[in-house]
Amino acid sequence: MLALLLTLLLVQLAGIGARDQLTVAHLVARTGQRPALLVVAIGTGALASLVAALAARQSAPEFNHQLRLLVAAIALAIGGLESIVIGPPRMAKEPTHSLGAAAIVLFAHQLTDSARMLVFAMVLATSTRYALLGAVFGGATALAIGWFGGDYLLRARRGLRIARACCGLGLLAAAGWAAFLAVGDADRFWRMVG
């Protein structure tokens, strides 16, 4: 249960100003608040989280506790760097009204974003499916903010960029902590989350 709550919170934080959230906000600002767009965005986010969780579950049996924590730390570091380095996407002046095209763009953004790196790291480190549930709900919340926010989010892009950089630094700090546990006392970590 701790993994569910922690993943939910972390994915919500990683979703602040993320590419998928801003893409949804842009589409809403240009084409209106279509409920189908929100459903598609949440669906692609859940699918991307499932892919990340399955990748973690497939690789988990091959690693011992220390190595799983170390790989999770690397995933967190990649997610942190993604939050800091990759800026918001460029928005098309004439966005398509096609939900299929929106789904492809959103899924491409979500598959490689920091939220999915968090899912991979949490599932790998804790070996629990609750992390996936937390990721789905956390991602849905972040996308709903983009859907409801629309123009307001687009006007606050500079502030969102700063917030994303802060979240990225937090992910890098978490990566450092996980790496320290991996090379230090990993058994204590397993007792805490177990």
User: Which tens digits make up the pLDDT trace of 123-181?
Assistant: 888 877 788 898 999 999 999 998 998 888 788 878 888 888 888 898 899 888 888 88
pTM of the model: 0.82
- Is 192 in contact with 69 (CB distance < 8 Å)? no
- Is 49 in contact with 40 (CB distance < 8 Å)? no
Amino acid identity at 136: V
DSSP string of 111-136, one letter each residue: HTSHHHHHHHHHHHHH--THHHHHHH
Query: CA 149, CA 192: separation in Å to the nearest integer?
Result: 38
Give the pLDDT of residue 147: 92
Contacts of 24 (CB under 8 A, 6+ apart): 37, 38, 41, 106, 143, 146, 147
Phi, psi (rounded to 5 degrees) for 159: -65, -40
Give the pLDDT of residue 17: 84
Confidence of residue 193 (pLDDT cuts 50, 70, 90): low
Task: Pick the closest to residue 72 from 190, 163, 164 (CA basis).
Answer: 190
> Is 90 exceeded by the pLDDT of residue 26?
no
How does pLDDT run across 89-122, given as a tens digit for each residue? 666 666 667 888 889 989 998 998 888 888 888 8
What b/e readout covers 47-57, taking b as 16+ CB neighbours within 10 angstroms? bbbebbbebbe
Radius of gyration of the chain (CA): 17
DSSP string of 37-88, one letter each residue: HHHHHHHHHHHHHHHHHHHHHHHGGGS-HHHHHHHHHHHHHHHHHHHHHS-P
Q: Who wins on pLDDT, 191 or 53? A: 53
How does pLDDT run across 40-50, given as a tens digit for each residue? 999 999 999 99
Query: CA 194, CA 183: separation in Å to the nearest integer?
Result: 19
With the CA atoms of 117, 119, 124 and 125 taken in that order, what torsion angle do they form, in degrees rounded to the nearest 10? 100
Query: CA 35, CA 80: separation in Å to the nearest integer?
Result: 31
